[in-house]
Structure 1
Amino acid sequence: MSLLDITELSLSYGDKCLYKNAEFSLFKGEHVGIVGANGVGKSTFINICTGNTIPDEGQIRWQPGISRGYLDQHAAADAQQTVLEYMQASFSALFEKEKEMVQAYQRYSAGEEDALKKAEKYQQQLEAADFYSIEYRIMRIAEGLGLTAIGMDKQLGNLSGGQRAKVILSKLLLEEPDVLLLDEPTNFLDKEHIRWLSEYLTEFSGAFLVVSHDFAFLEQISTCICDIDEQSIRKYSGKYSDFLKQKKHLREDYIRRYTAQQKQIKKTEEYIRKNIAGVNSRNAKGRRKQLERLERMAPPAKTYVKPVFRFHSGREVHEEILLQVNGLAAGYYYPVISGISFTVNRGQKVVITGFNGIGKSTLLKTLVGQLQALDGNFSISEAVQTGYYEQEFSWDTPEQTPLAAIRSWFPQLTEKEARRHLAGCGIDSKKAGQSLSTLSGGEQAKVKLCRLTLQPANLLILDEPTNHLDDLAKEALKEALEKYEGTVILVSHEEKFYQDFADKIISLEQVRPRE
């Protein structure tokens, strides 16, 4: 029996149709990776499963009694709560039972004979629920996702967005629901914690749906792949690599059958045209009826075109050392990182690593002037033109379209030129006319990258630019950075993305650069 059945699912936003009569079922123990190009509706699919998005048509039926856990990175939480207190809330009912047990024992000690039976009953219930392993279970997950390094006594209100998301994920894993619904869970994790989460999910006894652009992660955790493409949902058995082979084979087979049918249709139409008024008129009319009854195959779905990113290195820099950082401390009201020293030479491609929450984004914000240094200093060559890619999506006017945004940033461009640049970066004419806030994360990332390609910059500072990009866009960005003649400072948790072009790795965990 399936845990979830979705039938005749249809959903459109304006003239953009995401699903049309789509079907999907989730069965007990299935580990499903959800894939598809940017903008096809992967996150929307998760929101439909949670009930946060209501489709235009269709039915979503969960098996009664099934518990579901959704990774909501914006979930409400008491800012004064500590990380440990928030995680312990997963077991609030058991802690309450423990309190009742203690009170029952106290009443028994005071001479209330009947209280002993109640206390023993509570004791048995706690033991059956494995109550006395709670501390171990909390610390196992906290260590696996790097929360112990952040500090279990740290208040939620003092956490960064990425740290807070890790805490919410930790609590979700502690609750052990029957079904996990995770949308890009690796975006805020570094490679060590991704590895731990991969192992955890591989051993997870329940079912899950996971949206991810980290295909190595999907390869390890998935037993089947749900592909969202051309308004439909199709499930493939096996790992991500198996899905790629199956999809390629099915597409090639479909193209062969479609081509053969088109050839036969053309041949039949030619026969009808030549013989409809001749001695073979009867045969021609019969073939015309057959042709009218023929169920014609739809043209093969278009393949997604790989975007092209080209960064312009701007004016030449003559100094050998482009950036010098000396004992830098950075943060908001107190230092998140301190004692950081390193240099970046002209033309180097430098990657900054470290566990999530160590302060990588804070460092970049300080280097671009969004934050003031709290101690130490840094110097950047006066000849530097900086192009900055910020991890967060924040638009001054989110209702603006990509086309209008590009033209407001670069007023010298004609509409045709702006459209051409957007199309080259993977934003077609339809998406160019939508408001920025309605675009998927990957589409918004492409708009930001398009902006970077249009501004001369001899120093690119990029904070997790691959987080929301599909495979083709990641490949295009990697190629662009390999060809780029300027200097790059990149924060990324995807070693596979940068390992071929990185000249230098700076680990903030070690403070000193690792060459």
Structure 2
Amino acid sequence: MSLLEITGLTHAFGGQPLFQNAAFALHRGEHVGVVGQNGAGKSTLLKLCTGQLVPDGGRIVWQGGIRVGCLDQYAALNPEHTMGEVLHGAFRALYALERAMTELYDRAAEGDGAALAAAARRQEELEARGFYEVDTRVEKAAAGLGLAELGLDRPVGELSGGQRAKLLLARLLLEEPDVLLLDEPTNFLDQEQAAWLADTLTGLERAFLVVSHDAAFLNRAVTAVCAVEGRRLTKYPGNYAAYQAKKECLEGERLRQYTAQQREIARTEAYIRKNRAGRNAKMARGRQKKLDRLERLAAPEGRSAPPVFEFQPLPAGRTGDLEVVGLSVGYRSPVLEGLDLSVHAGQKVVLTGFNGVGKSTLLNTLAGRMPPLAGRFRFSEQAALGYFPQALAWTDGTRTPEELVTGAFPALDRQEARRALARCGVRQEHALQAVATLSGGEQARVKLCLLTLRPCNFLLLDEPTNHLDGAAKESLARALERFPGTVLLVSHEVDFYRAWAQRVVEIGGKGR
């Protein structure tokens, strides 16, 4: 029996049909990657599976007794608890069992013979369930996801959004549910951490569904791919590379069959028109009947046009330079201290370093969103900044992308705003939805659209690819390569910047 059975799934979100009579099954031990274009419905699928959303039609049935674990990046955590306490909280049931065992041993010490046997049984259960390796397991998960460097005694309230997401991911892995549901788990991970997660998931005997645009991660972690496309769910065996090859082959075959049928239809229709009257009229009528009975193949769905990002440079002669001297950044206390950095006009510089070292805080400070704690930085007088923050936050999430564009750029009318959004891959129906209801990838495209409309000569970009699909990443990389101004980028995706970055600076490392 399947762990999860989806049949006849029909669902629309924000007036946009996402699924139509879709079907899918997850079997015991399957490691499945969920892929598709931004806005196809991948995250919605996970929410339907967890009951956060109710489908418009169809059935989603879990096998009875299955424990399903879902990564909720907004889960409530006590800000005064330490990271170690949160991670050890994954073993609450075992700690309760240990307390019961201790009480039984105390009773046995007072002469209760039955309590001694009961305590021994509980100790055997604790040993069988790995209780005495809990500390080792916690340390391993913390090290793998880059939390150990922060110190497990650090309070949750001092963590950044990315660190908090990693903490919740580590706890979920330690809880060992029967099925894992993960939505873009590598967004806040560097390459080493993403590789550790992939290897950890690969070693699981349990099943999981993981939504991701990270091809390297999927190739390493999954044994099957569920493609969300054409309002259906299609499962392909193998990793992401195998899926791509199979899909390309199938699409080519569908196109060949469709083209051949259309060619034959055209020939038949031409014959019928030519011989509608005359000696061959009877034969023409026969061919018309045959044509009427023909089961016509649907035209292969064309791929959505890839987005086109184009940053507007300032007139020649205006340049963007940056000088950073002894800069310390943070909130109440420094997360990054004593940074010296020079970025010259036209340079394309990438900042790397382990998560939590302060890269996002640095860009936030350089963008003027928060004051430095010590040191100084100076942009050239002619520098005009464009800033893409990592967090997909909106002052008013009920406003539509169209309203956001026309509000930021009053000279644009509604039609011009929609055209600008369409160029960046935001479909017309999504341009009229509340921006907070859009997928992460669609929200990122809206932010990039706003950025492309404002002329600048110095771009500060904090993990801009986190929610983008492959086509959008390629388009953004080309746009940054063409951009004549200066770029300071924070990114963990080497493949994204390898072709155009001129310099890589490791924050806290040798590249400083």
Instruction: Please indicate, yes or no, whether the TM-score normalized by the shorter chain is above 0.5.
Output: yes
CA distance in 2, matches of 1:201, 1:459: 40
Shift of 1:323: 1.3
CA distance in 2, matches of 1:2, 1:211: 20
CA distance in 2, matches of 1:263, 1:404: 46
CA distance in 1, matches of 2:125, 2:414: 69
1:2 is aligned to 2:5: no
The equivalent residue for 1:124 is 124
CA distance in 2, matches of 1:29, 1:203: 10
Q: Is the 8 A contact 1:317 1:346 kept in 2?
A: no
Q: Deviations over 1:196-230 (max 9, x none)?
A: 11111121211111111111111111111111111
CA distance in 2, matches of 1:399, 1:131: 47
Q: Deviations over 1:352-400 (max 9, x none)?
A: 1111122111111111111011111111111110000011112223222
Q: Deviations over 1:424-448 (max 9, x none)?
A: 2112323222221222111111111
CA distance in 1, matches of 2:105, 2:331: 49
Alignment of structure 1 residues 103-118 onto 2, 5 Å: 103-118=103-118
CA distance in 2, matches of 1:65, 1:317: 68
Q: Is the 8 A contact 1:336 1:359 kept in 2?
A: yes
The equivalent residue for 1:232 is 232
Shift of 1:80: 2.0
The equivalent residue for 2:497 is 498
Cα gap change, 1:317 to 1:164, in 2 (>3 Å): farther
Alignment of structure 1 residues 182-201 onto 2, 5 Å: 182-201=182-201
The equivalent residue for 1:204 is 204
Shift of 1:285: 4.0
Which runs of 5 or more structure 1 residues have no equivalent in the other structure? none
The equivalent residue for 2:396 is 397
RMSD: 1.8
Secondary structure of residue in 1 paired with 2:21? strand
Secondary structure of residue in 1 paired with 2:304? coil
CA distance in 1, matches of 2:14, 2:350: 41
Give the letter aligned to residue 502 of structure 2: D
Which runs of 5 or more structure 2 residues have no equivalent in the other structure? none
The equivalent residue for 2:217 is 217
Give the letter aligned to residue 45 of structure 2: F
CA distance in 2, matches of 1:249, 1:113: 71
The equivalent residue for 1:387 is 386
CA distance in 1, matches of 2:422, 2:241: 29
Q: Is the 8 A contact 1:398 1:436 kept in 2?
A: yes
Shift of 1:281: 4.8
Q: Is the 8 A contact 2:254 2:300 kept in 1?
A: yes
1:63 is aligned to 2:63: yes
CA distance in 1, matches of 2:13, 2:284: 45
The equivalent residue for 1:426 is 425
Shift of 1:293: 2.9
Q: Is the 8 A contact 2:318 2:457 kept in 1?
A: no
The equivalent residue for 2:436 is 437
The equivalent residue for 1:375 is 374
CA distance in 2, matches of 1:109, 1:419: 77
The equivalent residue for 2:12 is 12
The equivalent residue for 1:258 is 258
Give the letter aligned to residue 28 of structure 1: R
Secondary structure of residue in 2 paired with 1:2? coil
Shift of 1:276: 4.8
Q: Deviations over 1:46-87 (max 9, x none)?
A: 111112111111111112222211111111222222111111
Give the letter aligned to residue 465 of structure 2: T
Alignment of structure 1 residues 311-460 onto 2, 5 Å: 311-316=311-316, 322-460=321-459
Q: Is the 8 A contact 1:316 1:383 kept in 2?
A: no
The equivalent residue for 1:513 is 511
Q: Is the 8 A contact 1:315 1:383 kept in 2?
A: no
Shift of 1:110: 2.5
CA distance in 1, matches of 2:396, 2:277: 65
CA distance in 1, matches of 2:485, 2:5: 52
Q: Is the 8 A contact 2:14 2:437 kept in 1?
A: no
CA distance in 2, matches of 1:122, 1:291: 75
TM-score, normalization by structure 2: 0.96
Q: Is 118-127 or 464-473 further displaced after alignment?
A: 118-127
Give the letter aligned to residue 382 of structure 1: E
Shift of 1:277: 5.4
Q: Is 295-304 or 365-374 further displaced after alignment?
A: 295-304
The equivalent residue for 1:168 is 168
% identity of equivalent residues? 50
CA distance in 2, matches of 1:369, 1:343: 18
How many pairs align? Answer: 512
Give the letter aligned to residue 125 of structure 2: Q
CA distance in 2, matches of 1:267, 1:224: 42
Secondary structure of residue in 2 paired with 1:343? strand
CA distance in 1, matches of 2:227, 2:108: 61
Q: Deviations over 1:387-426 (max 9, x none)?
A: 0001111222322222222121111223333232222211
CA distance in 2, matches of 1:251, 1:266: 22
Q: Is the 8 A contact 1:219 1:239 kept in 2?
A: yes
Give the letter aligned to residue 513 of structure 1: G
Q: Is the 8 A contact 1:316 1:458 kept in 2?
A: no
Secondary structure of residue in 1 paired with 2:245? helix
1:140 is aligned to 2:140: yes
TM-score, normalization by structure 1: 0.95
Secondary structure of residue in 1 paired with 2:58? strand
Q: Deviations over 1:477-514 (max 9, x none)?
A: 1111111111111000111111222222222222x635
Secondary structure of residue in 2 paired with 1:114? helix
The equivalent residue for 1:180 is 180
Alignment of structure 1 residues 39-118 onto 2, 5 Å: 39-118=39-118
